[in-house]
Amino acid sequence: MNPEPLNGYHMFNFRLQTVLKYRKQLEERLMLEFADRKRNLDCEKETLKKLKRGRAGLISRLKKMGESKLSAADISIYLSYISYMKDEENHSEEIIRQIGKELEEKRIKLVNASRKRKILEIIKEKKLKEYRLSLTVKEQKELDEAGIFRTGFRDRGLGVRG
């Protein structure tokens, strides 16, 4: 896919443009995945805080009730529920560890994807500078040739004036 020449010159065409486009899309997808897992982690941390506050509230209530006469059945129910909430906290902490591990893996993938994209962008910029320099050299050469051509006609007395 070569672009049409413009004023006798071809437009800049970066051979790896499709690869660069793919790398940008990959990086964007990884960013979205990272952000999604981060939201999951934050949500799970909030759930854990609520569980801990709830369990602490139950323990406090049980202590206050301990001052009054409680049946063994009531105490057993409270203790069972407190134990259940502690298990839920442990489960939530395990989920947080797992999501944290996945988040770190996604962060590493995102950093690598970003580096690969940046490398291609640096290469593209370098090639664009080379292209612009070659255009400048080509234009200067044409101007020099035109000047020589006019000088040659003038020296021969052919009437071309520059």
Is pLDDT above 80 for 52? Answer: yes
Segment 65-87 shows an average pLDDT of 86
pLDDT above 90 coverage of the chain, percent: 63
Enter the DSSP assignment of 16.
T
Kindly report the length of the chain: 162
pLDDT above 70 coverage of the chain, percent: 86
Confidence of residue 83 (pLDDT cuts 50, 70, 90): very high
**What is the set of domains in the chain, with CATH numbers?**
17-155 (1.10.287.1700)
pLDDT at 154: 62
pLDDT at 8: 53
Buried b vs exposed e over 90-108: b needs ≥16 C-beta within 10 Å? eebeebbeebeeebeebee
Q: Each residue of 108-158: pLDDT tens digit?
A: 999 999 999 999 999 999 999 999 999 999 888 888 877 777 776 666 655
pLDDT at 2: 47
Residue 9 phi, psi (nearest 5) = -115, 145
Interatomic CA distance for residues 93 and 89, integer angstroms:
6
Instruction: Output 156 or 25, whichever has higher pLDDT.
Output: 25
